[in-house]
Amino acid sequence: MNHFIRVCLVFIASALAFTFPSLSFSHPHVFIENTVIMVFDKQGLSGVRVKWVFDEFFSSMIAGDYDRNHNNRFENNEIKTIKDKAFANLANYAYFTFIKVDGRPFKVKYVRDFSATLTKSKLTYRFFIPCHVKAASSFKNMRISQYDPTYYTRVAFGKTRPVSFEGNSRFEIHFRLAKNLKEAYYFGQIHPHEIILKFRQKNG
């Protein structure tokens, strides 16, 4: 099945799922294990480095479409094609990433440093989400969740070190993972799991 036909089928399935949510294909068909690194610079948070590991079926599908020389790894030109044809469309869905800074939504409009790799037949995407939040003497409060509002794709935090930090020695940081019971998606049936993060400049 070529990529264009598959994209059309995904679109139709998603549209029908919104109209008839009880149908069996409304359940997720793509599964992502998600881990993130919160990256800090001298000013505060600079962004979020994301790692998505996909299920074997979707990995096989992407490998079949884009590993043109069948060497079980992606060359630079293949990665560019994956980015352009299989990843860039996620900009329409904020790259499945929803951020609030002190209660105000931060719209994810673009990402950078995209890469795609195959390891033991598992597809991994890595990319960086710029999100500059300057630290102050009082806490900055952030909520970060990743999910597909159509629930065609299930994004779940990995079990081992789902959240880590880089360049954070200048700041006092607290975080936890929790389900947001005040918000829901997919016809109000699914509550997102969030990184609840607060940070400030260290005193002294």
Identity of the amino acid at 78:
E
pLDDT at 204: 61
Q: What is the mean pLDDT of residues 37-49?
A: 97
Rounded to a whole number of angstroms, the CA Rg of the chain reads 18
Predicted confidence (pLDDT) at residue 11 exceeds the cutoff of 90: no
Pairwise CA distance, residues 135 & 101, whole Å: 12
Total domains in the fold of the chain: 1
Give the model confidence (pLDDT) of 179-191 as tens digits.
Answer: 999 999 999 999 9
Answer yes or no: is pLDDT of 7 > 90.
no
- How far apart are alpha carbons 70 and 55 in whole angstroms? 19
Residues 45-65: pLDDT tens digits? 999 999 999 999 999 999 999
13-22, 59-68, 111-120, 181-190: which has the minimum mean pLDDT? 13-22
**CB of 198 within 8 A of CB of 142?**
yes
Who contacts 8 (Cβ-Cβ below 8 Å, separation ≥6)? none
Note the pTM of the prediction, 2 decimals.
Answer: 0.85
Q: Which tokens is 10 given?
A: 């995904």
Residue 161: domain span: 3-201
